[in-house]
């Protein structure tokens, strides 16, 4: 390959380190790597993102499958892959998602804790119906596209007490695409 062409590509390639601030913001661990809370360095928006660093060097076949599948899936109740970053210097792969502060367990725990603190706050039936509908709608979409999920993890795109909560199935590392 032409050296000038390679140099030009390297100069044009976006690097996750240049675009996002994420140091010291580790929020969890996914199937294939660590997850960090990140913000844009340029301040274009105040939105929070989840940056998933795929473990190891290079890109495994399972990571390739996860990326390919996440790029295809488009549904309000299935997490959307925003961007993929490939770092050629240290051979790392980064996946960018919207950040979700809470998961379904936090929502349930929040409402249980309110009972224990003598502040009765039951989960409204309308919210239970909405959450159940969203779960089933997301699973239906996955199954309609021949995708089976072995470890469904649900994240809430708003706070634990919000009535307009939107759930998303996340972590594409535990999915199987049946052909």
What length is written for the chain?
Answer: 179
Helix (H, G, I), strand (E, B) or coil at 24: coil
Which run of H or E residues covers position 41? Answer: none
Is residue 52 a known part of a binding site? yes
Of 31, 77, 84, 65, whose CA–CA distance to 179 is shortest?
65
* Owner of token pair 């998602």: 97
Which residues are marked as active site? Answer: 151
Q: Record the tokens describing residue 176, joined without a space.
A: 């199987």
Of 120, 59, 122, 126, whose CA–CA distance to 90 is shortest?
59
**Three-state SS annotation for 96-137:** EEECCCEEHHHHHHHHHHHHHCCCCCCCCHHHHHHHHHHHHH
List the binding residues. 52
List the binding residues for ATP. 52
């Amino acid at each position: 390959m032409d050296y000038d062409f390679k140099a030009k590509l390297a100069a044009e390639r976006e690097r996750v380190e240049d675009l996002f601030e994420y140091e010291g913001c580790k929020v969890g661990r996914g199937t294939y790597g660590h997850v960090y809370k990140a913000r844009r360095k340029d301040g274009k928006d105040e939105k929070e993102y989840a940056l998933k660093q795929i473990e190891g060097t290079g890109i495994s076949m399972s990571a390739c499958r996860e990326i390919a599948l996440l790029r295809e899936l488009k549904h309000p109740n299935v997490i959307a892959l925003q961007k993929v970053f490939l770092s050629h210097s240290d051979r790392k792969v980064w996946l960018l998602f919207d950040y979700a502060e809470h998961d379904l367990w936090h929502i349930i725990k929040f409402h249980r804790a309110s009972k224990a603190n003598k502040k009765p706050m039951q989960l409204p039936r309308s919210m239970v119906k909405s959450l159940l509908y969203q779960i089933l709608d997301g699973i239906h979409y996955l199954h309609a596209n021949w995708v089976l999920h072995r470890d469904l993890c649900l994240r809430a795109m708003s706070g634990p007490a919000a009535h307009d909560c939107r759930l998303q199935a996340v972590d594409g590392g535990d999915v199987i695409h049946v052909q």
